[in-house]
Amino acid sequence: MLGVDTVVALDGRIYGKPDGPEQALATLRALSGREHTVVSGVSVIHGDLERTAVARTGVRFRALDHAELAAYVGTGEWRDRAGGYAIQGRGALLVAAIRGDYFNVVGLPVAELVRIAPELFVA
């Protein structure tokens, strides 16, 4: 069994999945022009194996104007996404730089998963 959950952190505040378009817009406005941290917890239970890990990735957004933010929110891609964006989709256009594991930002910290449970990937 594999469990993963992801949040976005900025200035001590946690941003989960926005409840609606207004909250998505407010979240993205807060992230605009700044670096935030994407934090994922991963847990593996396989037979007697029980391991957990935390992955952290820095993501810096471009400075975004209201029109850009509103256009992105209008796509609906923010739904069910921690921090209100999907880096693997149109949300990539919001990003100026990334420091760390891209796959963590997508929602599955592959490097940490392999580190804590390499035996799951042996043929």
- Catalytic-role residue among 5, 48, 80, 101: 5
- Specify whether 5 is catalytic: yes
- Find out whether 12 and 37 touch, Cβ atoms under 8 Å: no
Tell me the C-alpha distance between 57 and 48, whole Å: 30
Quick check: 101 and 110 in contact, CB under 8 A? yes
Q: Coil, strand or helix: which one is 115? A: helix
Largest Cα–Cα distance in the chain? 52
Catalytic residues: 5
